[in-house]
Amino acid sequence: MEEKIIVSNNGPLEGTVKIGGAKNSALPIIAASLLGTEPIILEDVPKLNDVSVILQVLEHLGSKVEYLDERTIKIDSSNLTSYVTPFDLMSKMRASFLVMGPLLARFGITKTSLPGGCAIGMRPVDLHLKGFKALGAEIVSDSTKIEAKTENGLKGTVLYLDFPSVGATQNIMMAASMAEGETVIENPAKEPEIVDLANFLNKLGGDVKGAGTSTIRIKGVEKLGGTTHPIIPDRIEAATYMVGAAMTKGDVTIENCIVSHISPIIAKLREVGCEVFDMEDEDKVRVVGKGKKLIGANIKTLPYPGFPTDVQAQFMALLSICEGQSTVTETVFENRFMHVDELLKMGAIIATEGKEAQIAGVPKLRGAEVKATDLRAGAALILAGLTAEGETKIGETYHIYRGYDDIIGKLRGLGAKIDRIEE
């Protein structure tokens, strides 16, 4: 038996949807909870498969994890018992690799297997390891496992990241938070999730400055305590519903979103012909596609504050029904066009070459049997199904649940015809 998601065209999405906490912020902050020697309470944690995997990793390492309510978690890592991450959990999710930095900081040693997750390209962990080496760790690795250890503790250093990798920036920040002296990270990632992690570390008693800019400075401290911290809203989830409003020519208000985090999405939706009202002081944005003629546009994915690679697939689904020609250039992940073949089954006209996809807009997509090749591709296919003629049946749905908290419930709340079936 495999679960499928069935979607059919139900006209425009209308109403209000509330965005949950950000997956890409929750995972590193949960990992960073390993650094705390007093209880930590995290609020607005999304209910996602990835979150439950990383909580299992923490429990395996000796943390006590308790749900206070559906989206509030208490973590106590005062008595950790292990520094080895088990293979079965690691293989389920790449973000499990984020425990390496905190474990290295606490124990001076950590062992793990190579991470799994979405198959969207190389995403090498060499930048993480380069960071650990610069802090004085010795790395021993083979094709399946990695060990990092330090004889005399981590030492602050100045290091330059060849690419502003989000995961590497986070892992190095966590490791450096307890290193001796000051660490300076040049060319780090600037994503909001980096800022959220820095704020969290500072609440624990850390000393991190410059997160969100091109230089992060971390002064190591001897020990980190506990705190209560709400996870920032998920900008990718917000963007997905914004694109859904545009595609279905609907009128949707997105609540609990930080408007500055989604400014590239707002700009591009206006460019294709939508009306977007940003109510920054209320943390809301409203997208109106009703009665609008949608025209093609060009997008190019870039590290933050550029157009996010995590919204590329959803936006391509939108561009496939916009009038005229569009181009999508993917610069972040080399394998992120797997959704193209699925959109073609639905009648989209897309030609890809290397990092570029050329799209000729069609008036209507057609329902088809497709599969979610990765998390964001799955969301794109749901949105495409909402506008297509007939019924769209999406397989390999587990990818979707890795990143969207109650996507079916939230879309139904906006009037979508969407169901789960077993077949």
Return the domain boundaries, the chain. 3-20+233-422, 23-230
Cβ partners under 8 Å of residue 316, min gap 6: 328, 339, 340, 343, 350, 357, 359, 380
pLDDT of residue 334: 82
Q: Which residues of 135-168 are buried (b: 16+ CB within 10 A; e: fewer)?
A: bbbeeeeeeeebbbbbeeebbbbebebeebbbbb
pLDDT of residue 335: 82
Query: In the block, which residue shows the tokens 């790395």?
Result: 139
Residue 405: burial class (beta carbons within 10 Å; 0-12, 13-18, 19+):
buried
Q: Indicate which residue of 118, 257, 274, 322 is catalytic.
A: 118
Which parts of the chain have pLDDT scores under 70?
Answer: 115-124
CA 265/CA 102 separation, integer angstroms: 33
Fold of domain 23-230: UDP-n-acetylglucosamine1-carboxyvinyl-transferase; Chain (3.65.10)
Query: In the block, which residue shows the tokens 């329902």?
Result: 367
Phi, psi of 76 (to 5 degrees): -125, 110
Q: Which amino acid is at 340?
A: V
Q: Which amino acid is at 66?
A: E
Q: Known catalytic residue: 274?
A: no
| CATH class for the region spanning 3-20+233-422 | alpha beta
Cβ partners under 8 Å of residue 75, min gap 6: 30, 33, 36, 39, 40, 41, 42, 58, 63, 64, 65
Tally of CB atoms within 10 A around 308: 23
Domains 3-20+233-422 and 23-230 share a fold: yes
Q: Which amino acid is at 242?
A: M
Query: In the block, which residue shows the tokens 């080399």?
Result: 334
Q: Could you tell me if 323 and 300 are in contact, meaning their C-beta atoms sit under 8 angstroms apart?
A: no
